Copies of this chain bind each other. A is one copy, B any other.
Amino acid sequence: MKRRSGAVPAAWCLACLFALAAGAVADDREMVSEIFRTALAEGRTHQLLRELCLRYPHRLSGSPESEAANRWVKTVMEERGLEVRLQEVMVPYWERGDTMVVEVAVDGRTEALSALALGGSVGTPVGGLEAPVIEVDSLEQVEALGETGIEGRIVFFNRALDQGRVRHFEAYMGAADQRVSGAAMAGRFGAVAVLVRSLSFLDDDYPHTGGLRYEEGVRQIPAAAISVRAANRLSLLLSASPQLRVSILMNCRQREDQVSHNVIGELKGSVHPDEYITIGAHFDAWDVGEGAQDNGSGSMQSIEAVYLLQELGYEFRRSVRVVMFANEEYLVGQPFRGGQVYAEEALKKGEKHYAAIETDAGAFTPRGFGVEGPPAMVERVRSWLEYFDTDNTVHYVAEGGGGPEIWVLNELLGTPTFDLRTDTQRYLDFHHSDNDTFDKVNRRELELGTAAMASLLYLIDTHGLTEQPDAER
């Protein structure tokens, strides 16, 4: 790595620095290429992510572990020369507890099904509950069955992801309503609990958690995800014995809201210090696995993207803020509070937010950028694709971009927002489960993501997002 204070050995770098020093636009293709080369050869995102996953695997907003992770990441950013502050964010706080049992009685013996309470779920009574099971494949089916079919039962939502979708997110959205609204719908008709098939493409035994949303005025009933294997098993058992009874015991609970924090690291710009470019990611994670792909990778990439440019000798024209956002995962139907607080403060202070970049797409090979901005801006960003190795890295720019952490900036201040798109075929294999651990992250794919974010940040800062006279640049 070429340290700013050290020697500058590479040929490109002499050329670039000369160009920068002369006030000219550097050869952007060479610069982007060097960003990728350096990230792959010397990037430290992988090592940083390893440390995060090892030290603070569970980072659910509001938890003491999450606040410890915030303190750690503050020092990480300070070590990289950023001026760091903690911004208070009130967040909901839910505790998983230490007991999660789903059992089914088969042929006189008891069989356990792999399960995880859904985030936000109430617990069962202290002694647990036991009831017959009704298997359904949609919210509509619950409505159609009504009280007669539902009351006193455990409702088992077993609609699988549509494997036929190329885009994982379409498959996810096509089944997620069971997890998010299943408990509310079943509760309305008198169910005693809900089991939901995990939102995973794999036929394995990892249950995948995620948030649910209760409905105002409807009795809150316990809800848990069971693994795909457990769902297939339960379905098979039910087809043989429809009268089968399942028992559930879990002691998760909702607690008082807590003070959490956005962690904000700032670097002053040399030309437009009053204009901010935000680059960041949600730093909270579920309390299972290590939150490696979701979203340890995106958080560490955001930090290292900025550091990589600094180490390459790039001097930011605008001020850059690296933000570790609180509270994306667990919301209980409220807005993403980390992004909300960040944008509201910016509005109140009258700050000028030039652009905001986020990522939450896992540590996979980058493929594109999303852009939330006027068509001319999308076109402008698209024209930058010529600087990339499009066969192997970033090759498209899509209209519509950003994410819940930064959309509020767009709504309140009109800030254009951006996000990184990756090859997400494996994303749901890990998502919200004990399978989301550091060892599943490929170093090169992770560092390529850092390089893609650094390149976008560099191009936005250097070229600007609109045509402008040279004097203003």
Contacts and interface: CB of A to CB of B under 8 A. Distances in A.
A308 to B, nearest CB: 13
In this complex, the member of A164, A429, A445 whose beta carbon has the largest number of chain B beta carbons within 10 angstroms is A164
A24 B163 CA distance: 31
A172 interface: no
Given A40-B163, A164-B38, A392 B365 contact: no
Given A164-B38, A166-B40, A425-B445, A368 B391 contact: yes
A29 B448 CA distance: 31
A393 B425 CA distance: 10
Contacts of A423: 365, 392, 423
Interface string A184-227: 00000000000000000100000000000000000000000000
A442 B421 contact: no
A391 B38 CA distance: 26
Interface in A394-421: 395-396, 398, 421
Contact of A167 (B163, B389, B396, B421): B389
A124 to B, nearest CB: 35
A3 interface: no
B389 A166 contact: yes
Interface residues of A, number: 35
Given A41-B163, A164-B38, A391 B367 contact: yes
Nearest to A426: B442
A166 B392 contact: yes
How many copies of the chain does the oligomer comprise? 2
Contacts of A365: 365, 423, 425
Q: Identify whether the interface residues of A are mostly helix, strand, loop, or mixed.
A: loop
A94 interface: no
A352 interface: no
B444 A425 contact: yes
Contacts of A421: 391
Contact of A396 (B164, B395, B442): B395
Contact of A162 (B41, B392, B429): B41
Interface string A442-465: 111100100000000000000000
A37 interface: yes
A136 to B, nearest CB: 22
Contact of A41 (B164, B167, B391): B164
Interface string A351-370: 00000000000000101100
A165 interface: yes
B391 A448 contact: no
Contacts of A37: 164-166
Interface of A: 36-38, 40-42, 162-167, 201, 365, 367-368, 389-393, 395-396, 398, 421, 423-426, 429, 442-445, 448
Question: Which A-B residue pairs are the 9 nearest by beta carbons?
Answer: A41-B164, A37-B164, A425-B444, A41-B163, A365-B423, A166-B389, A40-B164, A166-B392, A425-B445
Given A167-B392, A201-B443, A425-B444, 14 more contacts: A37-B166, A40-B163, A40-B165, A166-B392, A365-B423, A365-B425, A367-B391, A367-B392, A390-B396, A391-B396, A391-B421, A392-B423, A392-B424, A429-B442
25 contacts: A36-B166, A37-B166, A40-B163, A40-B165, A40-B166, A41-B163, A41-B164, A163-B444, A166-B448, A167-B389, A167-B392, A201-B443, A365-B365, A365-B423, A365-B425, A367-B391, A367-B392, A368-B391, A390-B395, A391-B398, A395-B395, A423-B423, A425-B445, A426-B442, A426-B445
